[in-house]
C-alpha cells in the first residue's frame, strides 16, 4: 500500500493534477504561505464554477488575508469562464 505525499508537496510537482477529493484541502491551503497559496489557487481554477461557488460561500466567514485569497479564486474563474456571471457580480460587490 502506497502512502500519498501531503497535498502541499504534490502541488510542487508540475505534473500533478488535483482531483475533486483534494478541493477541501486546497481551500485550507489558501491560509498557508504565499508559494503554497499561489499553487493552491492555480489548482482550484481547474474546478471552475464549483470552486468559485465555494469561495463565495466561505467569503463572509473568512478573515483577512483569506478573504482576499478567496476573491482571487473567484476572479480567476470569472476571467476564465464566460458563463460565470454570478462570480462577476460577486466581484463587483467586493469593490
pLDDT, tens digit, for every residue of 30-58? 999 999 999 999 999 999 999 999 999 99
Backbone angles phi, psi at 61, to 5 degrees: -85, -15
C-alpha radius of gyration, the chain, whole number = 13
Q: Do 28 and 66 touch, CB atoms closer than 8 A?
A: no
Q: What is the pLDDT of residues 50-92, one digit of tens each?
A: 999 999 999 999 999 999 999 999 999 999 998 999 999 999 9
Of 53, 25, 49, nearest in space to 39 by CA: 25
Of 52, 94, 40, nearest in space to 77 by CA: 52
What confidence tier does 95 reach under pLDDT thresholds 50, 70, 90? very high
pTM of the model: 0.92
Of 72, 73, 74, nearest in space to 90 by CA: 74
Look at residue 23 in the predicted model and tell me its pLDDT: 97
Look at residue 43 in the predicted model and tell me its pLDDT: 97
Amino acid at each position: 500500500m502506497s502512502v500519498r505525499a501531503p497535498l502541499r508537496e504534490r502541488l510542487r510537482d508540475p505534473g500533478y493534477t488535483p482531483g475533486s477529493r483534494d478541493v477541501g484541502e486546497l481551500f485550507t491551503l489558501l491560509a498557508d504561505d504565499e508559494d503554497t497559496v499561489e499553487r493552491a489557487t492555480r489548482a482550484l481554477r481547474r474546478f471552475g464554477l464549483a470552486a468559485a461557488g465555494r469561495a463565495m460561500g466561505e467569503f463572509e466567514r473568512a478573515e483577512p488575508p483569506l478573504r482576499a485569497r478567496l476573491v482571487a479564486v473567484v476572479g480567476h474563474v470569472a476571467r476564465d469562464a464566460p458563463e460565470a456571471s454570478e462570480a462577476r457580480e460577486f466581484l463587483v460587490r467586493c469593490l
